[in-house]
Amino acid sequence: MRTSLVILLSAVACTVIAAMAGVLNSAQLSTGDPTIGPGCALPAISAALFGSTQFRDGRMNVWGTVAASYVLATGVKGLQLAGLPNWIPDLFNGVALLVAVALAQFQRSPTSRFAAIRRTLGLRRENAEGAAT
Protein backbone atom coordinates (compact mmCIF):
# COMPACT_ATOMS: atom_id res chain seq x y z
CA MET A 1 0.00 0.00 0.00
CA ARG A 2 1.32 3.43 -0.90
CA THR A 3 1.35 5.23 2.42
CA SER A 4 2.43 8.55 0.97
CA LEU A 5 -0.74 8.65 -1.14
CA VAL A 6 -2.90 7.77 1.88
CA ILE A 7 -1.25 10.51 3.94
CA LEU A 8 -1.71 13.05 1.14
CA LEU A 9 -5.38 12.16 0.64
CA SER A 10 -5.97 12.30 4.41
CA ALA A 11 -4.47 15.77 4.58
CA VAL A 12 -6.62 16.93 1.64
CA ALA A 13 -9.76 15.45 3.22
CA CYS A 14 -9.03 17.14 6.57
CA THR A 15 -8.46 20.46 4.80
CA VAL A 16 -11.75 20.22 2.90
CA ILE A 17 -13.67 19.30 6.06
CA ALA A 18 -12.08 22.18 7.99
CA ALA A 19 -12.90 24.61 5.18
CA MET A 20 -16.53 23.47 5.13
CA ALA A 21 -16.73 23.85 8.92
CA GLY A 22 -15.33 27.39 8.64
CA VAL A 23 -17.85 28.32 5.97
CA LEU A 24 -20.73 26.93 8.05
CA ASN A 25 -19.47 28.73 11.16
CA SER A 26 -19.20 32.03 9.29
CA ALA A 27 -22.69 31.53 7.86
CA GLN A 28 -24.07 30.90 11.34
CA LEU A 29 -22.43 34.04 12.76
CA SER A 30 -23.13 36.11 9.60
CA THR A 31 -19.57 37.39 9.80
CA GLY A 32 -15.98 36.19 9.76
CA ASP A 33 -14.44 36.06 13.23
CA PRO A 34 -10.76 35.08 13.51
CA THR A 35 -10.97 34.59 17.29
CA ILE A 36 -13.18 31.47 17.16
CA GLY A 37 -10.61 28.92 15.99
CA PRO A 38 -7.94 29.09 18.70
CA GLY A 39 -10.42 28.01 21.38
CA CYS A 40 -10.86 24.67 19.63
CA ALA A 41 -7.17 23.79 19.30
CA LEU A 42 -6.34 22.89 22.91
CA PRO A 43 -9.25 20.44 23.43
CA ALA A 44 -8.56 18.75 20.09
CA ILE A 45 -4.84 18.32 20.76
CA SER A 46 -5.40 17.09 24.31
CA ALA A 47 -8.04 14.60 23.15
CA ALA A 48 -5.75 13.21 20.45
CA LEU A 49 -2.73 12.87 22.73
CA PHE A 50 -4.74 11.60 25.70
CA GLY A 51 -6.39 9.10 23.34
CA SER A 52 -3.01 7.76 22.30
CA THR A 53 -2.42 6.60 25.87
CA GLN A 54 -5.76 4.79 26.24
CA PHE A 55 -5.52 1.54 24.28
CA ARG A 56 -2.14 1.40 22.55
CA ASP A 57 1.18 2.34 24.03
CA GLY A 58 1.67 5.88 22.75
CA ARG A 59 0.24 5.22 19.28
CA MET A 60 -2.57 7.29 17.86
CA ASN A 61 -5.80 5.34 17.48
CA VAL A 62 -9.42 6.20 16.74
CA TRP A 63 -11.09 4.51 19.71
CA GLY A 64 -8.69 6.01 22.21
CA THR A 65 -9.34 9.48 20.78
CA VAL A 66 -13.12 8.91 20.95
CA ALA A 67 -12.87 7.76 24.57
CA ALA A 68 -10.60 10.67 25.50
CA SER A 69 -12.90 13.18 23.78
CA TYR A 70 -15.83 11.82 25.78
CA VAL A 71 -13.90 12.01 29.07
CA LEU A 72 -12.66 15.54 28.41
CA ALA A 73 -16.08 16.80 27.25
CA THR A 74 -17.74 15.28 30.31
CA GLY A 75 -15.16 16.86 32.61
CA VAL A 76 -15.50 20.30 31.00
CA LYS A 77 -19.30 20.16 31.11
CA GLY A 78 -19.17 19.13 34.77
CA LEU A 79 -16.92 22.08 35.56
CA GLN A 80 -19.25 24.44 33.71
CA LEU A 81 -22.31 23.08 35.53
CA ALA A 82 -20.50 23.58 38.85
CA GLY A 83 -20.41 27.29 38.05
CA LEU A 84 -16.65 27.68 38.06
CA PRO A 85 -14.95 30.59 36.23
CA ASN A 86 -14.57 30.57 32.43
CA TRP A 87 -10.84 29.85 32.50
CA ILE A 88 -11.18 26.54 34.40
CA PRO A 89 -12.08 24.40 31.32
CA ASP A 90 -8.89 25.59 29.60
CA LEU A 91 -6.93 24.68 32.73
CA PHE A 92 -8.62 21.26 32.77
CA ASN A 93 -7.68 20.63 29.11
CA GLY A 94 -4.12 21.83 29.74
CA VAL A 95 -3.68 19.54 32.74
CA ALA A 96 -5.14 16.65 30.70
CA LEU A 97 -2.58 17.40 27.97
CA LEU A 98 0.26 17.33 30.49
CA VAL A 99 -1.03 14.06 31.97
CA ALA A 100 -1.29 12.55 28.47
CA VAL A 101 2.30 13.45 27.63
CA ALA A 102 3.51 12.11 30.98
CA LEU A 103 1.58 8.85 30.49
CA ALA A 104 2.93 8.45 26.97
CA GLN A 105 6.50 8.87 28.20
CA PHE A 106 5.91 6.53 31.13
CA GLN A 107 4.43 3.79 28.94
CA ARG A 108 7.29 3.75 26.46
CA SER A 109 10.34 1.75 27.38
CA PRO A 110 13.79 3.29 26.81
CA THR A 111 14.68 0.62 24.24
CA SER A 112 11.67 1.46 22.11
CA ARG A 113 12.70 5.12 22.09
CA PHE A 114 16.14 4.25 20.80
CA ALA A 115 14.70 1.81 18.26
CA ALA A 116 12.43 4.55 16.90
CA ILE A 117 15.41 6.90 16.59
CA ARG A 118 17.42 4.21 14.78
CA ARG A 119 14.53 3.53 12.37
CA THR A 120 14.14 7.25 11.69
CA LEU A 121 17.83 7.74 10.98
CA GLY A 122 18.07 4.52 8.97
CA LEU A 123 20.72 3.05 11.25
CA ARG A 124 21.03 -0.67 11.77
CA ARG A 125 22.42 -2.44 14.79
CA GLU A 126 25.41 -4.66 14.18
CA ASN A 127 25.83 -7.94 16.01
CA ALA A 128 29.06 -9.55 17.22
CA GLU A 129 29.99 -10.99 13.81
CA GLY A 130 29.76 -7.61 12.14
CA ALA A 131 26.70 -8.42 10.03
CA ALA A 132 23.94 -5.86 10.03
CA THR A 133 20.62 -6.92 11.52
**72 lies in the same domain as 125:** yes
Q: Tell me which residue of 39, 25, 48 sits closest to 86, measured CA to CA.
A: 39
Q: What is the DSSP letter of 14?
A: H
**25 lies in the same domain as 43:** no
Mean pLDDT of successive 10-residue segments in the chain (133 residues)?
88 93 88 80 83 70 85 91 90 87 69 67 56 52
Torsion of CA 94, 53, 58, 100, to 10 degrees: 20
**53 lies in the same domain as 25:** no
CA distance 132 to 72: 46
Whether this model's pTM surpasses 0.85: no
> How many domains are there within the chain?
2
**6 lies in the same domain as 68:** no
**46 lies in the same domain as 31:** no
The confidence score (pLDDT) of residue 81 equals: 93
* Residue ranges making up the domain that contains 108: 39-133
The confidence score (pLDDT) of residue 110 equals: 60
